[in-house]
Amino acid sequence: MTLTAAPNAEPATAGEAILRRQRVRESAARTYARSFPIVPVRAAGMTVEGADGRRYLDCLSGAGSLALGHNHPVVLAAIRRTLDSGAPLHLLDLATAEKDEFTTALLETLPAEFAARAKVHFCGPAGTDAVEAALKLMQTATGRRGTLAFTGGYHGMTAGALAVTGNVAAKEALPAGGEVTRLPYPFSYRCPFGLGGEAGERVAARYTERLLDDPSGGVVRPAAMIVEAVQGEGGAVPAPDGWLREMRRITAERGIPLIVDEVQTGLGRTGAMWAVEHSGIMPDAMVLSKAIGGSLPLAVLVYREEYDGWRPGAHTGTFRGNTLAMAAGAATLRYVAANGLAERAAQVGRLLLAELNGLRGRLPVIGDVRGRGLMIGVELVDAAAEADECGARPADPALALRVREACLARGLIVELGGRQDAVLRLLPPLTITDEQVRAVLDRLADAIESVAGSRGE
């Protein structure tokens, strides 16, 4: 492997050289780096500036982890204050004033009834580790092993979290994992029952209830059910509130703990502080990460105290006391709450959905527009193909790839997601301005039109 330029090659810019070295030296499993071949050197709010001086509006926001966008002043101030205070930066899970303050801020924002009797477990700093902790906690508490999880669900990449994730491609290269019963997640546009709407939602709940009660259904009594209130990686699919309440009823009646994975939906993203607030359900455990660290790595499991029967060290890990993340996270939690950013996300989300639906009326390659708050998906389809009984056409991942590229060329960072990687996922910061909303819509519309137009659609 050589990293020097060929004798007559154009001299590369510093940014190009970094990208070239990355391609040579980093893993084939790298992801976002493939989608966005840029070298960010500066960022503020929603704007990212590349080494080549180009500026981008960032609708990826660190995979939904930047509630306040990049380098928000309150986050920077909290980090600087902590650095200047001489506080130790890394402390396993020892008590610190910063962790104490983070825990207070977290418990103050969580639904009051849940927080009143909750325990917080600090995990290794990734959502997937908190998912592992949640599954182990409930296995310990119930003495059972199995888990109920949903089609389209995404919970992380470590073994247990991957086992409850739906994405087949991410799993099939690996040996079989633990026993997971896969249940249908209601998805109106691509309804697994060909029904859609409330009928599809009702059948999905009925199937789950009947399966659990069927002595020949093949499901050993599980340790937990894990669910996202809005599926993120699954393609911005919101669960209907009534269906979630049904999942709560069904699990409660059968003594099955309910874990809600709010790694992506948490902290105002869906237009409520926590996505469980839309349906009003009280989970047994909530898994939190991404935004709660205010752009630094942090993950926690919060659960009802009656489950707190596991032993000291039952889920340990070295990096569970990142002082800067506690400070940045507490500042972010307080800022989102004090400035009504969940409400703002709800309001901007409604506007975006309305505008994007308008665009769908004009551009048949947009098959579906959906989401909740600032967790929005635009599914691109093959407009020439026949629609199924729910009006859905086949997803068009090749078109989506070209649209993502066209967006980047127009200064817009949008990642793809969804079952077939054909969903443009909009996850802007909750601080997005009205002007930025307009710019996102204009660039997105222009990108889709240019790509679809060039194919004669």
Question: Which residues are at the interface with ligand PMP (CB under 6 A)?
Answer: 63, 126-128, 131, 154-156, 228, 232-233, 261, 263-264, 289
What minimum distance in Å lies between the beta carbon of 61 and ligand PMP?
12
Bridging pattern class, strands 300-304 and 412-413: unpaired
In the complex, the smallest distance separating the C-beta of residue 65 from ligand PMP, rounded to whole angstroms, is 8
Q: Which residue number, 131 or 381, has a Cβ lying nearer to ligand PMP?
A: 131
CB-nearer residue toward ligand PMP: 275 or 365: 275
* Least distance to ligand PMP, CB of residue 156, Å: 4
* Residue listed under structure tokens 């060329």: 409
Quote the least distance from Cβ 3 to ligand PMP, whole Å.
30
Nearer to ligand PMP, 212 or 223 (CB): 223
Side-chain-side CA neighbours of 427 within 13 Å: the count stands at 29
Cβ count within 10 A of residue 451: 21
Closest separation between CB of residue 234 and ligand PMP, Å?
9
Identify which of residues 50 and 186 has a Cβ nearer to ligand PMP in the complex.
186
Length of the chain: 457
Instruction: Tell me the closest approach of the beta carbon of residue 134 to ligand PMP, in angstroms.
Output: 10
Residue whose CB is less far from ligand PMP, 45 or 160: 160
Report how far apart, in Å, the C-alpha atoms of 311 and of each of 281, 314, 335, 422 are.
Answer: 28, 5, 35, 44
Class of residue 434 by CB neighbours under 10 A (exposed 0-12, middle 13-18, buried 19+):
exposed
Nearer to ligand PMP (CB atom), residue 420 or residue 450: 420
* Minimum CB–partner distance for residue 299 and ligand PMP (Å): 7
Rounded least distance, CB 277 to ligand PMP, Å: 17
* Closest CA relative to residue 263, chosen from 242, 240, 241, 234: 234
Dist CA 66 CA 56 (whole Å)? 15
Comparing CB distances to ligand PMP, the nearer of 290 and 334 is 290
Residues 320-330: b if buried by 16+ CB within 10 A, e if exposed = bbbbbbbbbbb
Structure tokens at 387: 């629609």
User: Which one, 208 or 264, has the nearer CB to ligand PMP?
Assistant: 264
- DSSP secondary structure, 207-222, as one string: HHHHHHH-TTS--PPP
**Residue of closest CB approach to ligand PMP:** 127
Give strand pairing partners of 258.
225
Of 64, 56, 361, residue with least CA distance to 236: 64
DSSP 76-119: HHHHHHHHHHT--SB-TT---HHHHHHHHHHHHHS-HHHHTTEE
